[in-house]
Amino acid sequence: LFQHRVADPPIEVYFPRAVYDEKSEVNETVLQKVIAQHQVSDSLTIYGLLEQNGVELSRATRQSLLELLCYYNSEDPLEEEWIEERWFRQGTRSREKKKNVWKRGGAVKKLFDSLSPPDSASYTVLLCGKAQFGDLDGAYHVYQEALDAGVTLPVEAFNALIPG
């Protein structure tokens, strides 16, 4: 009914967001697109649908999903229009003591375990995510696990551990 596109060239930011449910036709390409757009909840939904359908994802896609989930702690980021909220969050972060807000278990743990054997990038992103969201004991545990596995970690992993 309303298929007419007024904008030429089309501007995807102004299109309505797609809603993904059990009836949606999803594949790895759709998941990669949603990951690139930083849509955390949609990425988790699509990942769950692909798992239910028995679709095997490439290691690169699982790694990029792990990076997205660790960077945003499995939560959707604030919309760009909420400038005041962003400003307020940045101001309170520097004043308050770092507390543990890392979401334990869930999709991050399952996704990390699916990357077997985990490589340096997998350990680093999990370690940095845990350290960023205050789970310093968990970050140190990931560090010890990487050492026991004989994985060489990059400088970013050590830098994430230093403030803790």
The count of domains in the chain is 1
Q: In whole angstroms, what is the distance from residue 57 CA to residue 78 CA?
A: 28
Does a structural domain hold residue 55? yes
Instruction: Please tell me the predicted confidence (pLDDT) of residue 96.
Output: 56
Cα dist from 127 to 40, 66, 81, 89, whole Å: 19, 12, 31, 23
Burial-class residue 17 by CB neighbours within 10 Å (0-12, 13-18, 19+): exposed
CATH number at residue 43: 1.25.40.10
Does a structural domain hold residue 150? yes
Burial-class residue 122 by CB neighbours within 10 Å (0-12, 13-18, 19+): buried
Does a structural domain hold residue 86? no
Does a structural domain hold residue 67? yes
pLDDT digits (tens, 9 = 90+) for 20-70: 888 888 999 999 999 999 999 999 999 999 999 999 999 999 999 999 999
Q: For the chain, how many residues are written?
A: 164
- Residue 18 C-beta-side C-alpha neighbours within 13 Å: 17
Q: In whole angstroms, what is the distance from residue 2 CA to residue 6 CA?
A: 11
Instruction: Please tell me the predicted confidence (pLDDT) of residue 128.
Output: 94
Does a structural domain hold residue 49? yes
Does a structural domain hold residue 128? yes
Does a structural domain hold residue 153? yes
Range of the domain at 26: 12-76+97-161
Does a structural domain hold residue 85? no
Q: Which of 86 and 56 is assigned the larger pLDDT?
A: 56
What is the CB neighbour count within 10 angstroms for residue 4? 5
Model confidence at 95, pLDDT cuts 50, 70, 90, reads low
